[in-house]
Structure 1
């Protein structure tokens, strides 16, 4: 069952609210969503257009021209849709209105009825594969999101305990591996981390080419590589402030890896470092990984959520 965390609306400009029936829909339910727009501004809204957006969608299910709305005017619009069956996390039914406030400028208001649907392990689908060096790892896939539940002592220090989801042989000699690190929950451990990993064989890092780029719970980004091909991460760069969500990008050019992060959805990128990994050979495995880094926090596990994991030739 989804858990409602309320209707949120812009406190400036007109009042826009969204409600749903049923009030707490479950996955697969048919839902009637209702948007109510009230112009409680002291001026008319000119050329108003209402956009009604389904969960997970990037375009409106309905676009409704409303024309001019005088002060005090109220309008109600409904649309029928479905709660996605394969979804978890925050799920929103959204209304967005765009309008002119005079002949020279425009403004907008947005409201969303948001439900939090718990993630549950449901395994992953082809072409993804899973692997783990800690016995408590579990995995899930929800639309474009990948989820890992894992314990583990760390990636480095010779322990290399983690859970991972990989695309075998996907990272060509010139390639870009990228993911959005959405959230890392389940433990207060500040050193827990999640991110990208590449290797000749991620299930056997001692075969060479191994590197990880992670965001930690509280201690910023970490870029670690295996410089001598023995399967142990022995170089480090990074630090700074942790950001969730963030974009992580690892660019491969032969045996050279360059790590980047973005905290503004890719509008700009910050280069962390470049490193040479001489043992990288051929097409590498690429994937996402998570570790609770629980060496000093025994028994803890984390839930790591990733979105839009991609591997592309450059």
Structure 2
């Protein structure tokens, strides 16, 4: 487990730190986190409010009004929480301070203690299903995150070697499939890829409707489809700069697919291309896939981490 500590403040900001007990908590542990605030600014802090935030939370576990804090003032606040049992990746305890400098301005300080907990294969839970077209594939599920460990030569070029996690029959005639591609790591190579896949049957792409939208390790986004229904990806669009994390979105309207990416958490979307896949029929399987693309890098594998995979009617 790796640990990092960080306090972010301007040159005149107060000092804020976060520590935990135990110092290296594991999944399921009860943790006491401690925030220590020292006003070593040359001015008082007015109307200070401290927000104490648990790992993965979007709202504070505690919001504590501190009032006015004079120069040299020091205060300590603690909060207790339980580490999620299935935690992995970066797990952070955060203290966020908001305060006024004078009657006309405000500022903030933030301190984060982050633990990096290794992902380990633990399979997936209903309603997800897994599939693989290469031997060296494992799977995991951690809260809203899905993880695939895979080798494989590529998605295209007649090889189609990958691992995948799917929701059977989830993509209706009009639907939006979306995922955040978080990270692609391991003994990988610059051509490795991970992303979204849809098909009439993802375990048998030769049944039609097959398309993938992936982000590569180093060579940007790729949108590939099977134009003639034989199970092989034979159209391509994409390129550009690789971004991790990124959002990938595939919009289906009957046999028409349109691919998008976003690198600013969905504030804006970049259309990659549209394609017609005549063999798409009925409700499609939708899922996430990964391949090491190791045709030219024999034996390499990847760990692909996805978050917030959704399939919704449009």
Q: TM-score range by the shorter chain?
A: over 0.9
Partners of 1:235 and 1:71 in 2: CA distance = 65
1:146-194 residue CA offsets vs partner (Å, 9 max, x unmatched)? 0000000000000000000000000011100000000000134100000
Distance 1:9 1:142, change over 3 A: farther
8 A contact 2:199–2:211 mirrored in 1? yes
Cα distance change on mapping 1:11 and 1:311 into 2, 3 Å: farther
Structure 2: how far apart are the matches of 1:172 and 1:100?
51
Give the aligned partner of residue 81 of structure 2.
81
CA spacing shift, 1:115–1:10, aligned 2, 3 Å? farther
Deviates more, 1:96-105 or 1:113-122: 96-105
Residue ranges of structure 1 left out of the alignment (5+ in a row): none
Note the C-alpha offset of 1:80: 1.0
Distance 1:236 1:205, change over 3 A: same
Instruction: Give the match for residue 234 of structure 1.
Output: 234
Q: List structure 1 segments (4+ residues) > 4 angstroms apart after TM superposition.
A: 1-12
Q: Give the match's secondary structure for 1:141.
A: strand
In the TM superposition, what is the alpha-carbon distance from 1:10 to its structure 2 partner?
6.7
Cα distance in 1, alignment partners of residues 56 and 188 from structure 2:
29
| Structure-2 change in CA distance of 1:186 and 1:311 (3 Å) | same
Which residue does 1:173 correspond to in 2?
A: 173
Q: How many residues align?
A: 314
TM-score w.r.t. the length of structure 2 is 0.97
Distance 1:24 1:8, change over 3 A: farther
Q: Quick check: 38-47 or 226-235, which moved more?
A: 38-47
Q: Using the alignment, how far apart are the partners of 1:133 and 1:171 within structure 2?
A: 22
Map 1:202-213 → 2, pairs under 5 A: 202-213=202-213
3-state SS of 2:102 partner: coil
SS in 1 for 2:209: coil
TM-score by length of 1: 0.97
Mark the CA change 1:10 to 1:129 in structure 2 (over 3 Å): closer, same or farther. farther
Q: Unaligned stretches of 5+ in structure 2?
A: none
Higher mean alpha-carbon deviation, 119-128 vs 37-46, is at 37-46
Closer, same or farther in 2 for the Cα pair 1:4/1:28, shift >3 Å?
farther
Instruction: Indicate how the Cα distance of structure 1 residues 160 and 64 shifts in structure 2: closer, same or farther if over 3 A, else same.
Output: same
Counterpart secondary structure, 1:206: helix
- Following TM superposition, by how much is the alpha carbon of 1:44 offset from its aligned partner in structure 2, in angstroms? 1.6
- Indicate if the aligned counterparts of 1:8 and 1:17 stay in contact, CA closer than 8 A: no
Question: Would you say the 8 A contact 2:14–2:37 is kept in 1?
Answer: yes
Give the deviation of 1:5 after TM superposition.
6.2
